Amino acid sequence: MALIYKIVTEAVWQAATAQGTLIGMPVDLQDGYIHFSAADQVRETARKHFSGQSNLVLLAVEAGRLGDRLRWEVSRGGALFPHLYAPLAVADVSTALPLAVDAAGNPIIPQEIA
């Protein structure tokens, strides 16, 4: 099964675990769906949208668990990105990994992901 990834703040993840569902980051609420990245997209997503931030958590989710609520749609540079049109059940998260940042303030995505 293919994994997809979501970067959230530690505070958003803690709230989600307390409620049992993740409704997303502010951009997700604004856009009406939860933005995910495929393995080959997550580094660029981290650099582009989360540089300079700390206390981040990388969530891994098996795409197949999300059924037809997950849509792959054209986004940045014409690439297909996974978008979830529903809250994410915390039970569907395979892994939640705190992210370190490098000296430039960029989140460090583990090498084994992409």
| pLDDT tens readout for residues 35-84 | 999 999 999 999 999 999 989 999 999 999 999 999 999 987 889 999 99
Indicate the pTM of the whole model.
0.94
Task: Report the share of the chain in percent with pLDDT over 70.
Answer: 97
Number of separate domains in the chain: 1
Give pLDDT, residue 12: 97
The reply to whether 40 falls in a domain is yes
The reply to whether 109 falls in a domain is no
Report the b/e string of 52-68 with b at 16+ CB within 10 A.
Answer: eeeebbbbbbebebbee
The reply to whether 110 falls in a domain is no
The reply to whether 78 falls in a domain is yes
Give pLDDT, residue 114: 65
CATH code for position 35: 3.20.170.20
Among residues 97, 2, 87, the alpha carbon closest in space to that of 46 is found at 97
Give pLDDT, residue 1: 64
Give pLDDT, residue 33: 97
* Unique residue bearing structure tokens 């690439």: 79
